[in-house]
């Protein structure tokens, strides 16, 4: 390592007041005390900040005051705290010293400061305690400090009214800004270290002549009819009187209201202020604003109202509800602020109503079919009435008309005649019910004979179908019912089934013995469908009754049985018949005979 060299230093004072050392050669670090600044007055605990400009490592920075070490900092940014309260008031020279490992030690320039922890002295001079003052008053105080006074601030009732920075410390104060009351005067002195001291308060009495209120004139106002206006007169009492001002007006329009306590104005010029012949009306208003003494100030104000066409007005009768077949009248009351002629129009009317444009009235009576049980309320919600003046300006109103179903009538059957049908024949009867309200109708029939059916076709018609058997001759009463869900109508249907007198009979004998064959079964069928059976009696005769005209198949059957000694019947082979069956055509009501002969098995 080269021997330590003490380098010459050039001391500079920067433009910002910082104390700066410039090394003669670049090997030594450059130090600057950035805080406090040259000539600063210090009090309390202050921070001394040092900036080091070097590329080499710094061990630490030490700060000194008049050569006495205040402290050191090993890490940037370099800061040292100094409690000036432990030092005597007076001037001090601050220096900083930095040591690096390569080139030794560098000193900063001298930074001169003053320590002042003692407040300044201050005393009130004028006006004197208890004096009566008025107008513009000179407030004066005396102050001193070891490092000089920065400013003396004058306060009236705690509010600053001025500040003096050089002796003699005097400010001018306009006492007329306050009411004539007692005031507290205080002087507050500040030194360069921002120490502060206040004088003892001095009490004086204000005595200023009374002055009338000061009023801010209202700008001329032009507005249209029905245009609202709201504003306030701005006024104050220069004497600061705490009593409220009183506001009055001359030639104030009737539609305009003035609040005598607050000076607030509000109102709306009516639609009749102007007319077609006189479309403008002027008002020259004079306000008078007085204090309690009273001292008053007058303030003129010009108001102009111009004609304004307002839209007509329409008063709706509200939503309407009416029962079927009942009358409806709904009148819309119309008016126009300028009494202009009006024209009424309507849209969305129910078809059963009419509209009188001269009186703006809807009238009519809903028929019985307007509402139904399925839809018990019919609603017309697009009724719109519009009234217009000639300009045209228009007003509209909407209402809803509801029709209630209160005229429900029972359904009625078309006339139904008694019905007659032969056994074995088909009966088809269509019935129809009519509902005057066009409600849905439900049809039914009870009691139904065996084999009969009734179909409700859901269109207010029904169909009764029945093919009575050959054993169903007789008289039948069927009750037909029609209902709309609320009301019921019944109708009686008389049906007579005539017995068919045509029968098929015959004789069956045992071919081998010539004796009658008892308990043989004879079956009547048509197209593969069995219609009835008959047994032969002891004489071998059978009878098939109630046969309607047509073609049939007659077939006999017989099975031999014998009893065992135990009494049980044992089935043997069937008897063979000749013929085995017969095709028979019935054309009239005469009885038809078909005989058979049976041959038992061997």
Three-class HEC string of 493-542: EEEEEECCCCCEEEEEEECCCCCECCCCEEEEEECCEEEEEEECCCCCEE
Residue range 191-250, pLDDT digits in tens: 988 999 999 999 999 988 888 999 999 999 999 888 999 999 999 887 766 668 999 999
Contact between 496 and 451 under an 8 Å Cβ cutoff? The reply is no
What pLDDT does 11 receive?
Answer: 35
Higher pLDDT, 422 or 239: 422
pLDDT greater than 80 at residue 310: no
pTM: 0.39
Q: What is the CATH number of domain 214-306?
A: 2.60.40.10
Per mean pLDDT, which range of 54-63, 395-404, 446-455 is the poorest?
54-63
DSSP 397-463: EEEEEEEE-------EEPP---EEEETTS-EEEEEEEE-TT----EEEEESPPTT-EEEE-SSSEEE
CA proximity to 431, closest of 419, 449, 447: 419
- Whole-number Å distance between alpha carbons of 101 and 58: 7
Architecture of the domain delimited by 313-404: Sandwich (2.60)
Domain 9-115 belongs in CATH node 1.10.1740.10:
no
- Whole-number Å distance between alpha carbons of 112 and 39: 6
Contact between 92 and 112 under an 8 Å Cβ cutoff? The reply is yes
Percent with pLDDT over 70 in the chain: 89
Of the spans 103-112, 236-245, 518-527, which averages the highest pLDDT? 518-527
Average pLDDT over residues 305-311: 83
CA proximity to 424, closest of 467, 465, 475, 473: 467
> Strand, coil or helix: what is 465?
strand
Q: Where are the domains of the chain?
A: 9-115, 121-206, 214-306, 313-404, 412-498, 504-599
Angle at 93 between CA 90 and CA 96, to 5 degrees: 145
Q: Using alpha carbons only, how large is the chain's radius of gyration in Å?
A: 64
The residues near 568 (Cβ < 8 Å, ≥ 6 apart) are: none
- Whole-number Å distance between alpha carbons of 119 and 144: 9
Residues facing residue 142 across a β-bridge: 123
- Whole-number Å distance between alpha carbons of 269 and 225: 5
What pLDDT does 63 receive?
Answer: 95
Of the spans 4-18, 271-285, 343-357, 486-500, which averages the highest pLDDT? 343-357
Average pLDDT over residues 40-44: 91
Which letter, b or e, does each residue of 535-565 get, where b requires 16 or more Cβ atoms within 10 Å of its Cβ?
ebeeebbbebbbbbeeebbbbbebeeeeeee
Q: Whats the size of the chain, residue-wise?
A: 602
Q: What is the CATH number of domain 504-599?
A: 2.60.40.1120
The residues near 369 (Cβ < 8 Å, ≥ 6 apart) are: 436, 437, 438
Correct CATH for 412-498 of 2.60.40.10, 3.40.50.300, 3.30.70.260, 3.90.245.10: 2.60.40.10
Mean pLDDT rounded to a whole number for the chain: 86
pLDDT greater than 80 at residue 373: no
Task: Report the number of secondary-structure helices (H) and strands (E) in the chain.
Answer: 0, 57
Largest alpha-carbon pair distance within the chain? 177
Q: How crowded is residue 126: how many other Cβ atoms within 10 Å of its Cβ? A: 14
Q: Do the domains 504-599 and 313-404 match in fold?
A: yes
Residue range 442-466, pLDDT digits in tens: 999 999 999 999 999 999 999 999 9
Which H or E element spans position 479? strand 474-483
DSSP 295-346: -EEEEEEEEEEE--PPPPEEE----EEEETT--EEEE-EEE-TT----EEEE
Of the spans 167-176, 272-281, 303-312, 420-429, which averages the highest pLDDT? 167-176
Confidence of residue 438 (pLDDT cuts 50, 70, 90): confident
Percent with pLDDT over 90 in the chain: 56
Per mean pLDDT, which range of 10-19, 354-363, 379-388, 485-494 is the poorest?
10-19
Residue range 243-284, pLDDT digits in tens: 689 999 999 999 999 999 999 999 999 888 887 678 889 999
Name the class of domain 121-206.
mainly beta
Average pLDDT over residues 494-506: 84
CA proximity to 440, closest of 477, 484, 403, 399: 484
- Cβ burial, residue 76 (10 Å; 0-12/13-18/19+): exposed
What pLDDT does 299 receive?
Answer: 95
Confidence of residue 417 (pLDDT cuts 50, 70, 90): very high
Per mean pLDDT, which range of 8-12, 260-264, 307-311 is the poorest?
8-12
């Amino acid at each position: 390592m080269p021997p330590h060299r003490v380098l010459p230093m050039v001391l500079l004072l920067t433009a910002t007041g910082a104390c700066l050392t410039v090394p003669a050669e670049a090997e030594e670090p450059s130090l600057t005390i950035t805080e406090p600044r040259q000539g600063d007055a210090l009090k309390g605990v202050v921070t001394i900040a040092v900036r080091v400009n070097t590329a080499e490592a710094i061990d630490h920075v030490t700060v000194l005051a008049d050569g006495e070490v205040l402290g050191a900092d090993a890490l940037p940014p370099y800061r040292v705290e100094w409690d000036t309260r432990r030092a005597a008031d007076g001037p001090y020279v601050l220096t900083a010293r930095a040591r690096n490992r390569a080139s030794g030690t560098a000193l900063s320039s001298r930074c001169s400061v003053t320590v002042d922890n003692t407040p300044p002295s201050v005393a009130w001079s004028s006006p004197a305690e208890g004096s009566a003052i008025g107008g513009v008053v000179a407030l004066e105080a005396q102050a001193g400090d070891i490092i000089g006074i920065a400013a003396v601030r004058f306060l009236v009732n705690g509010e600053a009214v001025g500040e003096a920075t050089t002796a003699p410390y005097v400010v001018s104060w306009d006492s007329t800004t306050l009411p004539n009351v007692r005031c507290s005067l205080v002087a507050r002195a500040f030194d360069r270290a921002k120490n502060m001291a206040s004088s003892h308060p001095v009490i004086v009495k204000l005595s200023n002549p009374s002055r009338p209120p000061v009023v801010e004139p209202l700008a001329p106002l032009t507005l249209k009819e029905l245009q609202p206006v709201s504003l306030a007169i701005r006024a104050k009492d220069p004497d600061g009187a705490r009593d409220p001002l009183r506001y009055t007006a001359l030639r104030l329009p009737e539609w305009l209201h003035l609040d005598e306590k607050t000076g607030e104005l509000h109102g709306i010029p009516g639609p009749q202020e102007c007319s077609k012949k006189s479309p403008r009306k002027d008002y020259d208003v004079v306000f008078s604003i007085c204090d309690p003494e009273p001292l008053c100030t007058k303030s003129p104000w010009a108001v102009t109202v111009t004609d304004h066409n307002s839209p007509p007005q329409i008063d709706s009768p509200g939503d309407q509800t009416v029962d079927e077949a009942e009358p409806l009248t709904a009148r819309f009351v119309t008016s126009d602020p300028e009494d202009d002629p009006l024209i009424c129009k309507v849209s969305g009317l129910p078809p059963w109503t009419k509209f009188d444009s001269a009186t703006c009235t809807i009238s009519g009576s809903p028929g019985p079919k307007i509402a139904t049980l399925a839809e018990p309320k019919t609603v017309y919600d697009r009724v719109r009435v519009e009234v217009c003046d000639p300009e045209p300006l228009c007003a509209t109103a909407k209402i809803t008309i509801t029709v209630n179903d209160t005229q429900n009538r029972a359904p009625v059957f078309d006339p139904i005649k008694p019905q007659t049908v032969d056994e074995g024949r088909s009966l088809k009867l269509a019935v129809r019910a009519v509902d005057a309200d066009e409600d849905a109708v439900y049809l039914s029939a009870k009691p139904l004979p065996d084999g009969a059916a009734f179909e409700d076709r859901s269109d207010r018609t029904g169909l009764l179908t029945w093919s009575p058997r050959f054993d169903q001759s007789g008289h039948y009463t069927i009750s037909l019912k029609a209902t709309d869900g609320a009301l019921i109508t019944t109708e009686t249907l008389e049906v007579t089934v005539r017995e068919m007198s045509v029968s098929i009979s015959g004789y069956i004998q045992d071919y081998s013995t010539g004796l009658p064959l008892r308990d043989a079964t004879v079956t009547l069928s048509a197209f593969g469908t069995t219609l009835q059976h008959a047994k032969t009696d002891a004489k071998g005769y059978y009878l098939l009754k109630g046969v309607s005209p047509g073609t049939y198949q007659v077939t006999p059957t017989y099975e031999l049985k014998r009893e065992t000694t135990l009494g049980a019947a044992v089935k043997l082979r069937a008897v063979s018949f000749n013929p085995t069956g017969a095709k028979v055509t019935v054309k009239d009501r005469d009885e038809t005979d078909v005989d058979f002969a049976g041959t038992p098995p061997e």
